[in-house]
Amino acid sequence: MPPAQSILLTLAGLGALYVGIQIVLPHLWKKGQIRKLRDEVRGKLILTYDDGPWDGLTPELLGLLQKRGARASFFMLGEKVEAAPELARSVAEAGHEVGSHSYSHHHPWKSAPWTRLQDLARGHSTLSAAGLEPAGHRPPYGKLCADSAFWLGRAGQGIRWWTHDSGDSGGPLDVAACLRSVREAGGAVVLMHDGYAPGERHAYVLEVTAALLDLADEQGWDVGGFELLGG
């Protein structure tokens, strides 16, 4: 084999090995974790909100949750916490669980290792600097790489997946469809976002939250953040 061809083949092999270890294995592991989560969450409703805190929606959402006596998990972006530390603290003071969602939402699969690890570490340190100890991490875009999983394991941070996407970030804004799927599953960890400007997505988050709480009441489910699963 000519030397140039042999070098190309070696590089292709190393590239495939890198993708296999960094992306494919964590992705398969995630699928198993979500299957397990679907069993663990039966009889429970875990409400989760990513990408905040944001003045335009978070206070309104906190008001709704307080009115309904419900707790939730908020996975915050470091850059948003830096911009509104008082608001971030008010979420924890209202009794909700606060976790990290990285500093500026880099896509883990599309970032260089040093970029995604720095984004991860800076997200956690920003929350700590604001007086919030992050209880778990929600990977941006729900994507994880092996090096991030290793970093999180060393930091003692659990990875918080979800079983149901409310559709607020791009799916159809269909409250009935979301409720039907959660009811059929007998419980859920629902993904929502509290970073929307006033408009239909903003209104949908409030509407679907209220409807999910009605469903949990009707079914007699426990409602809360990830603390319902014992941390």
Applying CB under 5 A, the span of 1-9, 43-51, 63-71, 201-209 interacting with Zn ion comes to: 43-51
CB of 117 to Zn ion, least distance (A): 18
Q: What share of the chain is helix, strand, coil (3-state, %, to 5)?
A: 55, 10, 30
Dihedral sign computed on CA atoms, order 33, 35, 41, 45: positive
Q: Which of 50, 97, 119, 194 touches Zn ion by CB under 5 A?
A: 50
How many residues interact with Zn ion (rule CB under 5 A)?
A: 2
Q: Can you say how many angstroms the Cα of residue 136 is from the centroid of all Cα atoms in its chain?
A: 9
Does the annotation count 50 as an active-site position?
A: yes
Q: Is 119 in the site for Zn ion (CB under 5 A)?
A: no
Q: Which of 50, 119, 168, 194 is catalytic?
A: 50
Nearer residue to Zn ion within complex by CB, 50 or 168 = 50
CB of 160 to Zn ion, least distance (A): 12
- Indicate the SS3 state at residue 225: coil
Does the annotation count 51 as an active-site position?
A: no
Q: Is 51 in the site for Zn ion (CB under 5 A)?
A: yes
Q: Which of 124, 137, 164, 193 is catalytic?
A: 193
| Full DSSP string of 134-202 | ---B--GGG---HHHHHHHHHTTPPB---SEE-STTSS---HHHHHHHHHHHTSEEEEEES-PPTTHHH
**Residues in touch with Zn ion (CB under 5 A):** 50-51
Positions marked active-site = 50, 193
